[in-house]
Every structure is written in structure tokens, then in C-alpha cells.
Homo-oligomer: A and B are copies of this chain.
Amino acid sequence: MTTADEALDDIHEQVEAETPDDITISRVQFEGAELVIYTPDVKAFAARDRLVPNLAQTFQKRITVRPTPDALVPQDKATPEIREIIPDDAGVQSIDFDSDTGEVLIEAEKPGLVIGRRGNTLDEIRTAVGWTPEVVRTPPIESSTVSNVRNFLKQERQDRREILERVGRQIHRPTTSEEDWVRITTLGCCREVGRAAFILSTPETRILIDCGDKPGAEGEVPYLQAPEALAAGPQSIDAVVLTHAHLDHSALLPILFKYGYDGPIYTTEPTRDLMGLLQLDYLDVASKEGRTPPYESQMVRETLKHTIPVEYGNVTDIAPDVKLTMHNAGHILGSAVCHFHVGEGHYNVAFSGDIHYEDTRLLDGAVNDFPRVETLVLESTYGGRNDYQTDQADSERNLEAVINEVHEQDGKVLIPAFAVGRSQELMLVLEEAMREGRIPTMPVYLDGMIREATAIHAAYPEHLRERLRDRILYEDDNPFLADQFQQVDGGDEMRRDVVDGEPAIILTTSGMITGGPIMSWLRLLGGDPNSTLTFVGYQAEGTLGRQIQQGRDEISMNDTAGNGAERVALNMGVETVDGFSGHADRAGLESFVETMNPRPERILCVHGDESSTDQLSSALYQKFNMRTVAPKNLETFRLA
């Protein structure tokens, strides 16, 4: 019998002791951080008002109570009973039973109506059929990603539960070390942008935070082989925490599973789905460009299967001595500032991930309020001394001016944009500008992954700004569904129709013109002096986007008939409108630190090029008198 088993036996006894005699406790089990109690007497359990909160208090755990099989109404009888209880206009799409957990997953267009006031409807279902209802929303825009992920997870639920049980045992193992320290090892993204990866370690625990690739150096993973990373074996890492879905943070996670890692990945639910979308696209792009991808799509599925979703603000045990809390980071849907509480108040570290300090149309600004925090690891993308961006209102006016001018000359506005985050922000800007008449209403064509990424946004309205959430959920006024947004489905034929048609705006990937449908658009539109290529995002050194921005006026690409390189002269206008970045600018980074509560003692400035990290580090030291450093990759810092 292992020590984890003994601990569970102890807990079982304690639970028995604290529950009335008329309630039988069949089994207790950890699943991840949660304590799961199996009982045939679910109703009696639920009837005792304070029982679950009291147990949660006793064990300092989230508690889930599950019925044993004998307490369940058979599925063929339960289904009609459940449909009977739920109001018709909830729009129930599917009812799906998991006999191992006694849970029934109900997908509905309006989950609120399934839940009922204060959970009344859920209680009614539970009482009637014994099954524990879980509710998910049917995405208001059909998203193949969301439905594929949900179906996959349903199908793998046996494996999932085994994973959760194993993780539960690991989290609740007894601690062994008498030492007491906290360390951060920088694996990537120091004095550079890309390949974000850190190890947070204590004598007990090693946590990998992010695992990205470096744009322009795809597949390069030397840091994963460092002794501090995986060289001590894939199981030497206890947990992975993912701040957000962008590939420079998430691309290499599936490799862990190729190497044999089988532990958990903690992240938000939308990040899980966006990550799956982007990783599969990453494989797709690699194979289209003739590169051998560093992993197979099976590994993306393993990644999804091992992901344990975390909600903003919930404190979650992820190791015997580490608690994780994720907070909105304002950067993209699901992005998180990750707060780690180590030991019993021993030390607190926050990783900013990528942040946007101000509210945008899409998301609230980043959270910087914590119970305690001694060290902050802060992104520095725009940390340079001149990295101040135009404010949102000015940016929008500038964009509107460009659009109006091009519209007047009967041209097209071609906007390269990242599929996730920037595109949705622009959609909101364009939708409002048209609705309020500041620009003429005209078609906005979405090419590449943008539509799918937008559908994922719509599936998680709780993560969007309140006004936007309300429009989507309660006012049946989903701006992403506005008529002018049209998906480009028909390949080059449809693109040619668009080019030959009326004035329009085209939003298309990739955001830095490094491939993707933007290449086709440039071939079709590049020669048109009435149209304008409009940059709204950061163009990294070395990308074609940056070169065009700097004046390059001819590009070569493989022609469609496969007859080698075709030269395309760029006669179209080229404009740059800044202020739409998903990153805080220099002012935003300083404000994030200045208003942070409490102020940290120490800041590591990372995720920016050498001058940005250096300049931000110096400035924060001088302004706020903190210990700041711009680390190099592959360094290790003792925090305590």
C-alpha cells in the first residue's frame, strides 16, 4: 500500500466520521485537485446543507459528490425525465451519460435555463434521476474545433479519469524534503521573442510554464533537452501550466508526450481549444512547407487529453506544495496571468504571460491584484524606451481614414492579421464603425483560420468583456454574426470574385505575411494601385511583412501552375496603423507594475528583444526601486 493509498484511507475514515450515519460512503478518490466522494445516498448528501462546504473546509479541497451506480435511474428512463424537467427554450442539443462517474453532460443553447435560478433546475434533475448534471453551451457559431474537442474528450473519458486519478495521487503525495527554496529556470524567450518556457522548481516539485517555438526557427527545441527541462526524464516534471494558446507559448507542448510525459497541463478552457486549433495548423503549415513536423497530430490529442481546465480566480492545488491561480491577462481569449503560491505562505510568483493592460473591445485588461506576490516574471515585448503606441480611439480613427480613402477609390483594404485575437478585435471595430456610419457598410471577407477562431470566441462569451458577452448571450446581437462578415470558402476562384467585386475589406492570415492565404491575395491584388495593404500588428524582423513595410515593392512566389517563381509587383498602397497590438505598450507595462497590488520585490523582464528587456528592467528599477533583471536563457535564479 502506497502512502497515497494510506492518505486516502485516512480521509475515507474522516469523511465517514463527519457524515451522518444514514449516509454510506462507498469510496473516496482524488481526481486532480478534487476530492471525489462516491455514495449511494446522493440525495441525503445534498439535503444536508452545510455538509459539502464543511468537508471542503476540513480537507481544504474542492469536493465532488458522485452517485454509485445503484443510485442511478437507467439511461433510457433518465433521458426523457431530464428533457421533461428542462424548459424547452433552453435548446438542449444532446444528453450524454458517463456511467463511471454518474455524470450526465447536457449541451444546450442556453445553459442558464438548464441550471435554473440558484441551480434549482440542476438540483431537480439530480434528485429525479440520481445522475450529476454538467452543462455546456452549444457554441452560438458552429465551431468544428469546439465540437471536435468535446467529442474527443467524451470518447476518451475513461483515459481522462485515469489521468485525473494519477494526477490526484501525485498532488496529494506526502512531501519529503526538509529544504525550502524556490527557483526559476529560464529556458527560452529571454532577450528574445519566441519559445517561451520556464521551470518553476522547489525541492518537491518542478513545473514547466509554457513550451513555445521560436518563429522562424520552427522545430528548434534545444532547451527541452537541458538538464533543467526534460533530461532528467519526462516524469521529472510534475505539471505544465500554459499561459495562452499562441504558438510561441504552446507549439512544443505535444513534444512532451512524444518524450513520454503523461502529466497534466493546466490552462483555461478556451486556451485548450485554441491551442488544439493552432497546433494542428502548425503541423499543417509545416507539412505544406515540406518540413518534417516535430510531432504527429496524435500528440496534439494527447495534449488535449491531459489538459485540466482551470477557471480564472480558482485556487488549484497542482503539487503538494504549489497552488495555481489563473487570472485574465487581456492578451487573447483565455490568456492568463499565472500566480503560484509555494508552500505554506512560503513564496509567491506571478508569470504575466503576454498581457494587455488596458481594456480592449474584446477583453478586459490584465489582472494585477494578488493576495501576495514577491516575484513577477514580466513580458517586455514593447518594453523599449520608445515603444509607446497610439491609443485605441486614435488607432481606430486612423484605420477608418484608410478604409474611407480606399473605398472612395473603389479599392480593397487587405489586412494581414493573426487569426486569434487581433482579427476578432478588428471585427468588433469594423462592425461598430459600420453600424455607426463612420465607414460605409461593405463586405468584410475572412480568410484562413479567422472564422474558426471567431467561433471559438463566441463559444466562451464568459471570457469576453461584459457588454460584448451580454450582446451575445442575452440580446441575440452577436456582432461576429453581422451580415457583412463573409467567410472565403471557395479558394482562389472566390478570391478572384472578391477582387473583381465591389469595395471590401479582407482580413486574412498570416499576420506577418509568412505564408497562408495572404499570399494568394497579394498575387491577386498586389498590382492594384487603388487597393491598400494595411498592417495592424507587429511585423517581426526577417518577415516579408516587415520587408514590405520598409519599402520592398516586388515579391516572388510559386505560381499556381507550378512553373517556378512568379514575380508580383506591388503597386497597391501600403499603410501601417498601430495601436491594435495584443501586448501592453511601454506605458501599459509600467502601469501594470505601478498599480500592481501588492508590488513585487523582484521582476524578471523577459519576452522581448535584448534592448527592450534591458530598457524595461532599468526603468522599473529606477522608477519603483525594485530588484529587476533581464535574464539570459538557461539561467537559474533562487528566489528564496
Let me know if A203 is at the binding interface, CB within 8 A: yes
Question: A228's closest neighbor in chain B, by CB?
Answer: B227
A277 to B637, CA, bound (A): 37
CB contact list, A210-264 vs B, under 8 A: 222, 227-228, 231-233, 236
Let me know if A12 is at the binding interface, CB within 8 A: no
Mask for A156-181, Cβ within 8 A of B = 1, else 0?
00000000000000000000010101
Chain B residue contacts of A634, Cβ below 8 A: 181, 183, 636, 638
Closest CB in chain B relative to A602 CB, distance in Å:
13
Let me know if A632 is at the binding interface, CB within 8 A: yes
Let me know if A195 is at the binding interface, CB within 8 A: no
A177 to B221, CA, bound (A): 12
Closest CB in chain B relative to A3 CB, distance in Å:
19
Query: How often does this chain occur in the complex, in copies?
Result: 2
A102 to B284, CA, bound (A): 63
Question: A639's closest neighbor in chain B, by CB?
Answer: B632
Question: A636's closest neighbor in chain B, by CB?
Answer: B636
Let me know if A185 is at the binding interface, CB within 8 A: yes
Let me know if A19 is at the binding interface, CB within 8 A: no
Closest CB in chain B relative to A62 CB, distance in Å:
31
Determine which of B222, B236, B635 lies in contact with A203 in the assembled complex, contact meaning CB atoms within 8 Å: B222
Whether the pair A179, B636 counts as a contact (CB closer than 8 A) is no
Question: A206's closest neighbor in chain B, by CB?
Answer: B227
Interface residues of chain A: helix, strand, loop or mixed (majority): mixed
A635 to B186, CA, bound (A): 11
A635 to B206, CA, bound (A): 15
Question: A640's closest neighbor in chain B, by CB?
Answer: B632
Let me know if A539 is at the binding interface, CB within 8 A: no
Closest CB in chain B relative to A87 CB, distance in Å:
56
A634 to B203, CA, bound (A): 11
Whether the pair B231, A236 counts as a contact (CB closer than 8 A) is yes
A129 to B636, CA, bound (A): 58
A232 to B231, CA, bound (A): 5
Chain B residue contacts of A633, Cβ below 8 A: 638
Mask for A621-640, Cβ within 8 A of B = 1, else 0?
00000000000111111100
Chain B residue contacts of A183, Cβ below 8 A: 634-635
Mask for A596-640, Cβ within 8 A of B = 1, else 0?
000000000000000000000000000000000000111111100
Chain B residue contacts of A179, Cβ below 8 A: 222
Closest CB in chain B relative to A194 CB, distance in Å:
15
Greatest chain B CB density within 10 A among A201, A227, A636, A637 is at A227
Whether the pair B185, A636 counts as a contact (CB closer than 8 A) is yes
Question: A179's closest neighbor in chain B, by CB?
Answer: B222
Question: A178's closest neighbor in chain B, by CB?
Answer: B222
Closest CB in chain B relative to A420 CB, distance in Å:
31
Question: A227's closest neighbor in chain B, by CB?
Answer: B232
Whether the pair B635, A637 counts as a contact (CB closer than 8 A) is yes
The 4 closest A-B pairs by CB, nearest first: A636-B636, A231-B232, A632-B638, A227-B232
30 A/B residue pairs, CB under 8 Å, sorted by A: A177-B222, A179-B222, A181-B634, A183-B634, A183-B635, A185-B636, A201-B227, A203-B222, A206-B227, A227-B227, A227-B228, A227-B231, A227-B232, A227-B236, A228-B228, A228-B636, A231-B232, A231-B233, A231-B236, A232-B232, A232-B233, A632-B638, A633-B638, A634-B636, A634-B638, A635-B635, A635-B636, A635-B637, A635-B638, A636-B636
User: A231-B233, A633-B638, A634-B638 given. 9 additional CB < 8 A pairs?
Assistant: A201-B227, A206-B227, A227-B231, A227-B232, A228-B636, A232-B232, A632-B638, A634-B636, A635-B637
